[in-house]
Amino acid sequence: MFRYILKRSSPFRGAGLILVTFGIVLIVKGLYYSNTHMRSYDVVQKNVSNLLLGDINIRAQTNYTSSTTIRQERHDPILPVCEIDHKALKGREQITLTSQSLISLESMFPESHVGGRFQPKGCKPKSRIAIIIPFRDREIHLKIYLSNVIPKLRRQNADFTIYVVEQAPGSHFNRGMMRNVGFVEASKIADYDCFIFNDVDSIFEDDRNIFRCGRDNSVRHLVTGVDVFDYKLKYSILVGGIIAFTPAQFRKVNGYSNFYFDWGAEDDDIYYRTERENMVIERPEKNSTIGFMSTLKHTRDPEAQYRFNILHSRTNETSHNDGVNSLKYTVKMVSHKKLFTWIYVSVDEDEVLKGLDIRIRRKIAAYRAKTKKT
Ligand code: UD2
Ligand code: MN
């Protein structure tokens, strides 16, 4: 066809040549861009969270990523109040350990709204819940968590949004701080009346364990037994795993302490905060399986011995100055994915620790010097 046109007339021949040249330029350009894209993808793979890699795939497919805030609006007030259909609950179930890709998980829950919000249909929820997951380097756990927990919470007719708060490399992991960041950042997005802090490896087994907050001074620890502790709690004041605070309760205790980098004691610290503020810890029914929780396996971070120095130095006054009201972090990215809102933050560890008593800071420095990899 082209040859025919080229042969027939010279103006057509000119146009044809231009077209062919344009085509060649496009092909060369395309090759160049796909190459540079692959190169930048490689860099991302080496330096940034794997969740961001997931994000690139998701963005290509569904355009969910945005660094702008989505303010989530409340329900239409004329709807009837949502009630839990107890017949729809299944009771205790064994958790499934298969890990699927984020994209196949997304297709399992087409009803989710951008940012990982799930809403009951045709009724007005009694509560608006934010689930806060402190996170670093546990992608498989996150996928197992989502596939097990979302169906259970759907059966509870809950209005919930999942937040994954990931700490960027460059500082030791700080579980308490990531939970505080989740509280502050989620509060900017919507008016939640219940915050449930849930570790990524802690999965409630029984859907009769209703995810809701307590009233007044009752903070709800949603666990009565952990699989690896023979379905008991290791000690009576343990509040790790899954715990629910109303915003007022969380502000009253000033959230978690920001000083516990490394493993341990931030959960005991917040227990003592509730005690000092005359709050009580409420748990699901004791003599049933309702509060049972499964945990996912992982290698344990080394215990930071100095944590007891921090824990034992805490008073009402130090807690009032260390927590949500003294939180310092940098948001590197917020991404409204289909099944969760991802908040990626960096922390300046030395700067945070400046708020701590100098004697304890020396102990931490000595511990770091001793454990430093050579
Ligand atoms: C116990 C507590 C936990 C916490 C911790 C002490 C129970 C059932 N669990 O869990 O609530 O108080 O002791 O610090 O009592 N994380 C990451 N990446 C990391 C490290 C931690 O994502 O590299 C997150 C993740 O959500 C994890 C959570 O922090 O589930 C708790 O950390 P852990 O699993 O290392 O601690 P573990 O199992 O001893
Ligand atoms: Mn764990």
CA distance 217 to 248: 9
Superfamily, domain 38-373: Spore Coat Polysaccharide Biosynthesis Protein SpsA; Chain A (3.90.550.10)
* Nearest 10 degrees: Cα torsion 137, 141, 142, 145: -160
Q: For ligand 1, say whether the CB of 238 is within 6 Å of any of its atoms.
A: yes
Tell me the CA–centroid distance for residue 374 and ligand 2, in Å.
27
**What residue has token string 């509560």?**
127
Classify each residue of 142-151 as buried b or exposed e, where b means 16 or more C-beta atoms within 10 Å of its C-beta. bbbbbbbbbe
What integer is the mean pLDDT of 244-252?
A: 98
Cα separation values, 311 from 190, 264, 269, 351, Å: 33, 10, 6, 19
- Ligand nearest to C-alpha 233: 1
The region of weakest confidence among 11-20, 143-152, 200-209, 318-327 is 11-20
Q: Minimal CA–CA distance to 317: which of 348, 362, 355?
A: 355
Residue 331's region, left for phi above 0, alpha for psi from -120 to 50, else beta, is beta
pLDDT digits (tens, 9 = 90+) for 258-313: 999 999 999 999 999 999 999 999 999 988 999 999 999 999 888 888 999 999 99
The DSSP H or E segment spanning 281 is strand 280-282
Q: What is the largest CA-CA distance in the chain?
A: 95
Neighbours of 218 (CB within 10 A): 15
Instruction: Give the mutation target among 173, 175, 267 for probing the ligand 1 site: most ligand atoms within 8 A of CB.
Output: 175
| Residue owning the nearest CA to atom 30 of ligand 1 | 199
Are 340 and 153 a contacting pair, CB within 8 Å?
no
pLDDT digits (tens, 9 = 90+) for 142-187: 999 999 999 999 999 999 999 999 999 999 999 999 999 999 999 9
pLDDT digits (tens, 9 = 90+) for 87-145: 999 999 999 999 899 999 999 999 999 999 999 999 999 999 999 999 999 999 999 99
**pLDDT value at 72 more than 80:** no
pLDDT value of residue 287: 87
- Ligand nearest to C-alpha 302: 1
pLDDT digits (tens, 9 = 90+) for 41-67: 222 333 456 666 554 333 333 333 334
pLDDT value of residue 372: 78
Q: How many CA atoms lie within 13 A of 24 on its CB side?
A: 5
| Residue owning the nearest CA to atom 4 of ligand 1 | 240
Q: Dig out the tokens for 333 from the structure.
A: 């990215």
Give the residue extent of every domain in the chain: 1-33, 38-373
| Residue owning the nearest CA to atom 28 of ligand 1 | 199
| Residue owning the nearest CA to atom 1 of ligand 1 | 240
pLDDT value of residue 371: 83
Q: Dig out the tokens for 160 from the structure.
A: 């919930």
| Residue owning the nearest CA to atom 2 of ligand 1 | 240
The DSSP H or E segment spanning 170 is none
Residue type, 74: R
The region of weakest confidence among 70-84, 148-162, 191-205 is 70-84
**pLDDT value at 11 more than 60:** no
**pLDDT value at 23 more than 80:** no
Percentage of residues in the chain having pLDDT higher than 70: 79
Q: For ligand 1, say whether the CB of 201 is within 6 Å of any of its atoms.
A: yes
- Ligand nearest to C-alpha 242: 1
Question: How does DSSP classify residue 287?
Answer: T
Tell me the CA–centroid distance for residue 103 and ligand 1, in Å.
26
Measured from the CA of 133, which atom of ligand 1 is nearest?
26
Tell me the CA–centroid distance for residue 125 and ligand 2, in Å.
31
Binning pLDDT at 50, 70 and 90, where does residue 73 land? low
The more confidently predicted of residues 109 and 31 is 109
| Residue owning the nearest CA to atom 27 of ligand 1 | 199
pLDDT value of residue 152: 98
Q: For ligand 1, say whether the CB of 229 is within 6 Å of any of its atoms.
A: no
